[in-house]
Structure 1
């Protein structure tokens, strides 16, 4: 694709990066075949190829209008297009560059600005988010259906206990996160118990809360970078002392973002090297368990008391497209004795996509219902996933329980103890 970027951006680092990405696109359109919004709406501008053209026009100095904003806002940044693209186009990075320009050129309504500001300020701050959720749960019966379904039911902690690490020579750090401790407190606790059985101590480090993904996706770049630096500052002393062998992610959305720290902070002289090292040492929980497979399989064989429940696994986009992790969770669940039901169009997004289910509720609900129909088709007893956002979004429309897959491994191992 030929480009003629405008003077305002062509000689900047972002401009040079965007130019290289644009030139790698051969506008074949294969990406549209796997784009959830193109499949839903059938509009070329609601697919990756159309959005690439909109961004190209913007960077070449063409007028930026509300139409540009509409179609870019509808993008889930699920990155399914990247998994499909034969040319390796780095779409999500081009999208981020284009979105930043759009935010400067097209003003949002007062209501839209207020909503996005509230999300940016409240969700990453646990001291604000937790009481807000509790109030919402109390008022849930009085809320309109569209709003009530966004309020999760109170979460319980199964098997009795939080994150209580036992002492082991091997030690890893897990990200606490911002919304997960309130919405799904058992996820990290279950991971700690499983790793304890494998001889690994799992700890949370004070000060490492939001990974920065929420603000990054809401165009609050500087706030997001500050969130990332806070995580690095909290983790770095553990790394410097040689006390940890890696960082464990139980929310694949956070994992995908932390693995981007190296790219996002590469121009920050104070943090570039630290960010690169932390990104390289970050692993999804499924990768950690897969690396311990001989011992884990031994424990699971001892724990299996028969065939487990039939479950349907939703692989989050941040797991399969961003991190390119495919098949690991399914293999772990199968090894634990669970029966996996087939899921049609498993590459498609559920509509959660960070705050997308709040900023684009109509499209998100349609995508959720399509995903639930695919998950329910095999008549599973429950649904499992690997990201708290997907878990809450799917649960809002499902009669079946939706859980994190690590809880099932935890329960199977617990049965043998």
Structure 2
């Protein structure tokens, strides 16, 4: 695509990257065929091709309005279009650049600014989020039904984690909301890894991965969190930690971007690249281990794990990390019966804070996804990202859990 950035745009720190991405787009439109928002709204400006044009016009110096912001806000950043694109356009990077520039040029309505600030002050802070969640659950009987349904149900209580005892050691990002929403997920992962001869070293100084801030256009705040995590993990990395395990694919996708996002930071570039190389989704770790110690199910158990399940593959796992089919393969190897899921490439509508900032679109996408997931009549739906898990489970239909809890519950 022919591009002529304005003089002002050329002063941006990522101007060269933006121009390269714009020039790689051939405007074929294949991306629209798999874009969830384009399928729902049928508007060219609510598909990747249209959004690329909006960003191009902005960077070439043309006027922008709140309408431009609306169309960019409606993007889920699911990266389905990147999987589809024959030209390899890194659309999500261009979107980040465009959104950051738009945020500087267009002031949001006060209600939107307050909502985004509230999300940034709660989600990345586990103690704050946990307190707010407990308050919401306590108040649920007194709230309107529509509001009460938005408060997530109590997750399974965490079982004890094994003490470190193996020579092989890995780190684990605990996450921001997962300890409150699904407290047994990381504990289950630690127990499964322990069965495979791998111990989890606790690094309490590590916190939010930075994705919430970054994708709400507080990009410097997001990168500051990335730097703090790198500092927290670095002594353990130097001591020989094999990997940084992510049980939430959304966090994993962002940690794997540290090396790219901090490539121009002279103090952190090499460390960030090393952290990105060590970042592994939990399924990547299990895929390289013998699974015999995890063989699922025992005949005659009083409460066997559900056997007929549907797997929802999060966008951050299949499109961002390119790990589509990996969890399904492990579950099948462990003896679980997976139902077929039509249109498994499509987004559920969670997308970080999207289900809060764009609730109407998110609910439509959730309904479509649940209809597809339930078409094979599964006993349980499992997924690999806390956002997807909470969003899908919030509909009150088929229960939704993290897949590693299913594996752990079936350990012999």
The yes-or-no answer on 1:276 pairing with 2:273 is: yes
**What is the TM-score normalised by the length of structure 1?**
0.95
Tell me whether 222-231 or 272-281 shows the greater mean CA deviation.
222-231
How far off is 1:267 after superposition? Answer: 1.3
How far off is 1:241 after superposition? Answer: 2.2
Distance between the aligned counterparts of 1:146 and 1:365, measured in 2?
Answer: 13
How far off is 1:398 after superposition? Answer: 3.3
Q: How does 1:10-89 map to 2 (within 5 A)?
A: 10-89=10-89
What is the match of residue 226 of structure 1?
A: 224
Q: How does 1:16-415 map to 2 (within 5 A)?
A: 16-157=16-157, 160-161=159-160, 163-242=161-240, 244-292=241-289, 294=290, 296=291, 298-301=292-295, 303-305=297-299, 309-413=307-411
Alignment deviations for residues 37-96 of structure 1 (CA, whole Å, 9 cap, x no partner): 000000000000000000000000000111101100000000000000000001000000
Distance between the aligned counterparts of 1:329 and 1:368, measured in 2?
Answer: 21
Q: Secondary structure at the match of 2:8?
A: helix
Q: Secondary structure at the match of 1:383?
A: strand
Distance between the aligned counterparts of 1:351 and 1:301, measured in 2?
Answer: 33
Distance between the aligned counterparts of 1:408 and 1:287, measured in 2?
Answer: 17
Q: Secondary structure at the match of 1:7?
A: coil
How far off is 1:18 after superposition? Answer: 0.6
Distance between the aligned counterparts of 2:299 and 2:326, measured in 1?
Answer: 23
For structure 1, the residue ranges without an aligned partner over 5 or more in a row are none
For the aligned residues, what is the CA RMSD?
1.4
Count of equivalent residues: 408
Alignment deviations for residues 245-287 of structure 1 (CA, whole Å, 9 cap, x no partner): 1110100000000000001111111111110001001110001
For structure 2, the residue ranges without an aligned partner over 5 or more in a row are none
Distance between the aligned counterparts of 2:175 and 2:207, measured in 1?
Answer: 4
Tell me whether 167-176 or 196-205 shows the greater mean CA deviation.
196-205
Alignment deviations for residues 261-318 of structure 1 (CA, whole Å, 9 cap, x no partner): 00111111111111000100111000100100x3x1x224475539951101000000
Alignment deviations for residues 206-264 of structure 1 (CA, whole Å, 9 cap, x no partner): 1112000111110011111111111111100111222x111101000000000000011
How far off is 1:6 after superposition? Answer: 0.4
**Cα contact 1:304–1:336 (8 A) shared by 2:** no
Q: Secondary structure at the match of 2:14?
A: helix
How far off is 1:153 after superposition? Answer: 1.3
**Cα contact 2:164–2:201 (8 A) shared by 1:** no
